Structure formats: C-alpha cells, structure tokens
Amino acid sequence: MNAKKQALGRGLSALLAISESEEINYNDNATTVVGSIASISVDLIEENPYQPRTKFEKQALQELSDSIRHQGIIQPITVRKLGHDKYQLISGERRLRASKNAGLEEIPAYIRIATDVQMLEMALVENIQRENLNSIEVALSYQALIDECKLTQEQLSDKIGKNRTTITNYLRLLKLPAEIQLDIQDEKISMGHARALITLENVDQQLAITKQIVEKGLSVREVEGLVRKINNPEEKKTKKTAAALPAGYHTAKTSLSKQYAAKIEIKRNNRGRGNIIIPFISDKDFERIVELLK
C-alpha cells in the first residue's frame, strides 16, 4: 500500500505499473490476461464508483464518438478484473462512453488487479491531472484522497505536487451551501467569487450575493467589496467620523502642527472621545518633541 501511495505523485502511469506480487491470471476461456491488453465486451465493464468527474461535455463526447467510429480506439482504457467475465473501469470513462455511443461492442482494455483504495487513487490522480475539471470536482477529489487514503493536507501536497495553500483553498469550497457549489459546477460563478463568499459566516448573505453575481454579472473585485462592507461595517463610519471634526478642532490641529513642527493628527468619535497623534521622524526629533511637551 505504501508503495502505491508513493507512486501517486508520479501520475497514473506509475500507479498502473504491475507489482511483483500481482499474478498473471487467465479467465476460463484463456482470452484475457491480467497485465495485458485484450478486447473486452463493453457490456462486461462496470462504471468506476470512484469517478470524480460528474459532467461530460456532450459535444466533445459526440466528437470523440465520431472519431472512434471512423478510426477506432487509439488508447486502450484500463480496467480491473473482478471475476469471470466481470471488469470494473479504472480510467477512460470518456472513451468507454464514446465507444458505446459509436456502437462498438468491444473495446481494447489494459487489464489489472487493484484494491478499492488503489482504484480510488488512480481515478482521482488521472482526473486531478486534467485541466477541464471544475473547482468542486477538484475539491471533492482532494477530500476523497484525504478521507479514503488517510492523508493530511501536507501529505497530499507532497503526493500530487500541489501547493498546500492551493489544496486548502479548494477544500474550503466544500463548506459553501450546496446551491452555491452547483453554481460553481455550472460555471455561473468562478472560484474567485467563491473564495470571497467563504469569508461570510451568514449563509443567507452568501446566497444573496451569489444571486447578484449570477443576475448582474458582478466581478470578483465587486464581490470582495460587498463582502468587506458586510464584514467591516464600522470601517466606513470611522472614515466619515474622522472627516467630520468640529471647526474648533481644525483650528487646534493647525496651531499644534505649527507649535511642534509636525503634522498633527486628531481622531474623534461621535461621543467626543479621541486621540491626538504627534508623529516624529527620528530619535532626535522624538527628543525634541518630548522637550516641548515638558
């Protein structure tokens, strides 16, 4: 098991290598061999229960079907042998689906034996390495590797060659409400939008802003601004208060600035409490101001 996990970071090809302990087995008719490529009936191949990808682009799948219909399968799929005339897909679901659509009754397949954990690792690694997975599918893949293979985020980072911060950002998406996760999957909002929404603790506020993103086409920066106002409601009030000093304070500020030869700042809240700030530019300047204050 450890050897298989070490192979994870090197990609699917490393995981598919037959171990020394894996035996060469023939089925009853001696037509398929574990560790070889054979033509298998598509009806004998079960779907991969660990397939992270949930969406397959119809047009691209149809184009692949047309290609297979005219040119056949160029790259075999990979399956694991479950028993007599019974196989389970490890990788190549698009090719299998397209082959069925093209009307093929058999498909070339690389046959091997794999445990459930190895199946999960191989399926996830193959899909993580693809560029067309949506953010939620990537996040679910990371979470499955952590849960099923008992990995920490640091270990996962080492194995798949991704920065830990990147992994953490993806995993945080799974804390969002299901409605927002669906919008990410459907590409109605981006991962940038989602990362801004995560900082809101109120689910209703998250959903309300998501609705605005979809309906008004808000940019990530605009969403970050909305979220910042919700999370820091006093920020705008403080700025307004600072700019609304009574007339007498402005006169005193000017007088003090001249007296201490420094740019004095006065901050005051609505209740009349505040601070007078006298800046200095060096130790010598500090000593000068202290002398004046005596």
Contacts of 277 (CB under 8 A, 6+ apart): 264, 265, 266, 267
138/185 Cα distance (integer angstroms): 10
88/44 Cα distance (integer angstroms): 8
81/93 Cα distance (integer angstroms): 16
Q: In what order do the strands lie in the sheet with 106-112?
A: 37-41, 106-112, 77-83, 86-91, 45-46
Q: Which of 20, 93, 179, 287 is catalytic?
A: 93
153/176 Cα distance (integer angstroms): 19
18/21 Cα distance (integer angstroms): 8
Q: Catalytic site residue 154?
A: no
70/185 Cα distance (integer angstroms): 33
212/189 Cα distance (integer angstroms): 10
Amino acid at 61: L
Residue with tokens 């054979």: 38
| Residues labelled as active-site residues | 93
